[in-house]
Amino acid sequence: MGLSTFTSGLARVKFRKQPPSKLDLFQDITRVLRRMAKINRSQNVLRTMKTFLKASRRDLGHVNKPGRTSARYMPDLHVYIDTSGSILEENYREAVLMLIRIAKRLNVNLYFNSFSRILSQETLLKVENKSTWQIWKEFRRVPKVTGGTEFKQVWDYINSSTERKHRLSLMITDFEWWFPPSTRGEHPPNLYYAPCSAMDWSRMLQCAKAYVDAMQHIDPSIRQKLLGMVI
């Protein structure tokens, strides 16, 4: 796949020339989840079965006794979808359907907020034993905010809760936020970004580049947090 290269500070950032596929995003999200620390409890349960392949010396009469299931907890997935004026209904729908399919493949429930200049109420959307369209109907019932775009409120919302800081937070956006030069703040370490679907890719790259450049004084590693966009 062809690449487009931008210079950001002293680093050269390679962007995809084409939008990422669902598989690209799934692989990037999985990679990030595996790198994150395990936690005591979450909606994201990884169950493993320990089987007994030979008889126990202490229990010779139970050669075929069943295995034992153990559970480990991966970080929760919390999605923030940009629903500002530049995001059309088609873009929102495609972004949500993409996330639902990824969540079903990961077999993990989703925490969800929409945001513009304001942040919607947090909602937990459960995916287990539900079809894609059943989950989409639940998304449709969640009130969607509209208006301008403000990223920093999402940072502040995540940082205000120890529990949220330990989740994998994923912002779905077109990156059309005017970044005030005076902006300061703590960028959440576990906040990543993914591009909205069904949008002009050249425009998306321009806006992502501007965001990466403006963020260097806050988080020099920000370019590595653009999932499905940077190689």
State how far the alpha carbon of 61 is from the alpha carbons of 64, 66, 69, in Å. 9, 13, 21
- Please state the rounded mean pLDDT for residues 17-21: 92
pLDDT band at 132 (very low <50, low <70, confident <90, very high): very high
| Cα within 13 Å of Cα(229), Cβ side | 27
User: SS3 for 64-83, per residue?
Assistant: CCCCEEEEEEECCEEEEEEC
The share of the chain scoring above pLDDT 90, in percent, equals 53
Query: Would you state the structure tokens that stand for residue 146, as one six-digit string?
Result: 């509209």
How many CB atoms within 10 Å of residue 172?
25
- Average pLDDT over the chain, rounded to whole? 83
CA dihedral over 77, 190, 186, 179, signed as positive or negative: negative
| pLDDT score recorded for residue 54 | 52
Beta strands in the chain (DSSP E): 3-8, 11-16, 44-50, 68-74, 77-82, 110-115, 123-125, 168-173, 191-195
Which domains occur in the chain, in start order? 3-37+75-225 (3.40.50), 45-73 (no CATH)
Query: 78-119 pLDDT, tens per residue?
Result: 999 999 999 999 999 998 998 899 888 888 889 999 999 999
DSSP string, 122-157: PEEE--TT--HHHHHHHHHHS----SS--SHHHHHH
Burial per residue of 16-52, b for 16 or more beta-carbon CB atoms within 10 angstroms, e otherwise = beebbeeebbbebbeebbeeeeeeeebbbeeeeeeee
**Between 13 and 124, residue with greater pLDDT:** 124
Q: Is the pLDDT of residue 214 over 70?
A: yes
- Please state the rounded mean pLDDT for residues 47-75: 53
- Please state the rounded mean pLDDT for residues 47-72: 51
Structural contact between residues 5 and 15, judged by C-beta atoms closer than 8 angstroms:
yes
pTM score of the predicted model:
0.81
Query: 176-194 pLDDT, tens per residue?
Result: 998 888 888 999 999 999 9
